[in-house]
Chains A and B, each alone.
Chain A
Amino acid sequence: DTGVSQDPRHKITKRGQNVTFRCDPISEHNRLYWYRQTLGQGPEFLTYFQNEAQLEKSRLLSDRFSAERPKGSFSTLEIQRTEQGDSAMYLCASSAGTRPTGELFFGEGSRLTVL
């Protein structure tokens, strides 16, 4: 069990650029979640996949955000035309569908700074 891994760990970009983050979940987990966290706040839910299907999206997820999980394994989160308000830690988490309690296991996060 190698845990949830995220890449890159840090990204600095200029406003208006596009960025993409990758998440590799724990291998036997079929559920994958993206959250965003800013300083002093708890993680805010963005979107959720079960296998390759995107089953839930938060209203926080503007049309500049898109997420995919094409083969039900790794996932990408793309932010187009970044804004300074997008600066945050982007957290990926996974869980096993066989666990009804639904505990999530988080990766180390990808920190985005938009200049």
Chain B
Amino acid sequence: QKEVEQNSGPLSVPEGAIASLNCTYSDRGSQSFFWYRQYSGKSPELIMFIYSNGDKEDGRFTAQLNKASQYVSLLIRDSQPSDSATYLCAVKGPQAGTALIFGKGTTLSVSS
């Protein structure tokens, strides 16, 4: 059973702080890793993806991947109230076209 685990939260941070979201996965063959943001009542929206060990930065967002530890994280710098949402971690296996497996998501609340 391929699993993706996330702490459901809520994670509460003050405006301007760094929010750190974590995810672990069970399938060592996983190749690509994704972070989606989902506002209440809306569909998931892709924030960024990573497939190499290390860090990948995109604006205020940094994804970190450690395949040896089967761990992926998302850092949000200078958190804004508009960042308040559920963040979904998703993992893709090695075969082309394989569906993404999602975690349950972490709810982030940024207070002003």
Contact = CB atoms under 8 A, between A and B. Distances in A.
Interface of A: 31, 33, 35, 40-45, 48, 50, 55-56, 89, 91, 95, 97, 100-109
Given A42-B102, A107-B43, A102 B97 contact: yes
Given A41-B104, A42-B104, A109 B99 contact: no
B96 A91 contact: no
Contacts of A106: 43-45
Interface string B27-61: 00000101000000011111001010000000000
Interface in B85-112: 88, 90, 92, 96-105
B100 to A, nearest CB: 6
A102 B104 contact: no
Contacts of A35: 102
